[in-house]
Amino acid sequence: MSAPVVTVTLNPALDQTVLLDSLRPGAVNRANSVRLDAGGKGVNVASCLADWGLPTVATGLLGRDNTSEFEKLFARKGIADRFVRIAGQTRTNLKIVAADCGDTTDINLPGAQADADSFAQVHAAVGELCDRQGIAVFAGSLPAGIDTDAYVTLLRQAAACGMRSLLDTSDAPLTAALQSETVPYAIKPNRHELEGWCGRKLDTPARLLTAARELQSLGIVLVVISMGAEGALFVGSDREALIARPPAIRTQSTVGAGDAMVAGIAAAMIERRDPESLARLATAFAAAKLGLAGPNLPAREQVLALADATRIERLR
């Protein structure tokens, strides 16, 4: 059996996705449908990995007043639930999808207040779950009450037990992690998140590659920069740079596509795929998720077909 993946989500959310024909600000808008999914970056990653068939443990912080959607997801997909329950409700994120343009408007609501004791419980859970052959995925924003350097603490813990870590966050938590002496093994910012860190536009492949090299100079082995519909840049341990471009696919929802890519990276790391195969699989996870609502993947054969159809461009 493959080694497990541990996902850590300190600020999960219930994703309420509203589908409209078009969005008109300031007017009455009538929805075609609405759905509610247990979400948050690490939860989405765990869900996709479970669909792929990898043993997955999910931990983090959940408001105990509205845990049912998360517990149903974990039970349905066989995800081991090690979440710490805290007082209050897990936040709700509204995602408004307009069919006429395909864009998603996000409205993220505040969530439960966390504290040092609840974070200490997550820290302890990660320590108990450490596996030298596994992957620790630290993903998402931080809730109120948790220090900006929380991921730094968790990265040190994973490194101390020899576990490779994969980080997907932004803003102050990303900056804190990149300023630490213990950086993640792999990182997956999107282009806009990385622009916020480096303070300049990354609007060409050459500029993206320069930023990726800067990240590698900090000690990060694998850098993946997602670019939405344009695909993603992959720069690995051999320093070869690849741009993977997904095949065309009918989009049902873009919500969670970046998280699906993180899941694909983690799966490829566990399966010890070569750089091109890793890029193909991660891109296929993201593309496959576009055809489904919620944090889900289609059958394995469909994902592999998308991986085969992914176009690879090598940067010199």
Our answer to whether residue 259 is catalytic in this structure is yes
What one-character DSSP code corresponds to residue 64?
Answer: B
Could you tell me the two tokens for 147?
A: 């220090």
C-alpha 65 chain-centroid distance = 25
Contact 22, 98 (CB under 8 A): yes
What are the two backbone dihedrals, phi and then psi, of residue 280, each rounded to the nearest 5 degrees? -65, -45
| Contact of 143 with 113, CB cutoff 8 Å | yes
Among the listed residues 106, 238, 259, 274, the single catalytic one is 259
Q: Helix, strand or coil for residue 199?
A: coil
With residue 62 as reference, give the H or E element that holds it: strand 56-63
Burial call 194-231: b when 16+ CB within 10 Å, e when fewer: bbebeeeebeeeeebbebbeebbeeebebbbbbbeeeb
∠ CA 207-204-167, rounded to 5°: 60
List the structure tokens of 170: 């932004």
Q: Which helix (H) or strand (E) holds 119?
A: helix 116-129
Q: Are 234 and 209 in contact (CB under 8 A)?
A: no
Tell me the C-alpha distance between 28 and 245, whole Å: 38
Identify the H or E element spanning 86. Answer: strand 80-86
Whole-Å CA distances, 7 to 77, 130, 139, 147, 154: 14, 11, 8, 19, 12
Give the Å distances, CA to CA, from 114 to 7, 39, 120, 174: 18, 18, 11, 19
List active site positions. 259
